Chains A and B, each alone.
Chain A
Amino acid sequence: GQQLNQSPQSMFIQEGEDVSMNCTSSSIFNTWLWYKQDPGEGPVLLIALYKAGELTSNGRLTAQFGITRKDSFLNISASIPSDVGIYFCAGFPNQGAQKLVFGQGTRLTINP
């Protein structure tokens, strides 16, 4: 089935640094979603992208839907301690119904 390759798998950064992570696929996706999961909690939606080339911001977070429709990236600017967690990309395959495909996640650790 379709797979999403998310990288990096983990990041260790200093507070205040910018963060960049991405998600790629060998097939086309028509929607990209970015979620954050805190320990012991369910994933929470951060940003949704619906059109190729779309660039959307949510506070210090910015995400883009790649022009080829096979990738997406998420940037976090000026990281703060509460940004710690696992970030998942997810997408709806072009020919899929309502079944989301998830990436493996990027675990973000911040040193104060």
Chain B
Amino acid sequence: NAGVTQTPKFRILKIGQSMTLQCTQDMNHNYMYWYRQDPGMGLKLIYYSVGAGITDKGEVPNGYNVSRSTTEDFPLRLELAAPSQTSVYFCASSYWGEQFFGPGTRLTVL
């Protein structure tokens, strides 16, 4: 099992550009999550999903969108990138309880 995979690993965006961060898990987990981690800080929940077709906002959803059309994939969309979205983004999945994290995407918005 590859676990949770994320692409790309690194990305630099200009202000106002858009992009999609990809996340895929092969553990057949129902629950999937997107977090952001700012330098020296803990993780903040952006969006989460309890199953295909169901998503809900976390603590810091503004500026982001998600969709969950399959159990495996949970992409995160940035429509109009802003410098405040410079961060490391982690995707995670769980069956129940313990969450397993991907390696992260480091995003810089200039």
Known contacts A41-B104, A42-B102, A43-B90: does B42 contact A105 (CB below 8 Å)?
yes
Chain B positions 37 through 55: 1 when the CB is less than 8 Å from some CB of chain A, otherwise 0: 0000111110010100000
The count of A-to-B residue pairs whose CB atoms sit within 8 angstroms is 50
Instruction: Report the bound CA distance from A76 to B45 in whole Å.
Output: 28
Contact A88 B58 (CB under 8 A): no
Instruction: Report the bound CA distance from A99 to B57 in whole Å.
Output: 10
Residue of B nearest to A101 (CB): B45
Interface of A is mostly: loop
Contact B48 A31 (CB under 8 A): no
Instruction: Report the bound CA distance from A90 to B33 in whole Å.
Output: 14
Answer whether residue A95 sits at the interface, using C-beta atoms and an 8 A cutoff.
no
User: Interface on B for A, CB 8 Å cutoff?
Assistant: 4, 31, 33, 41-45, 48, 50, 58-59, 90, 92, 94, 96-104
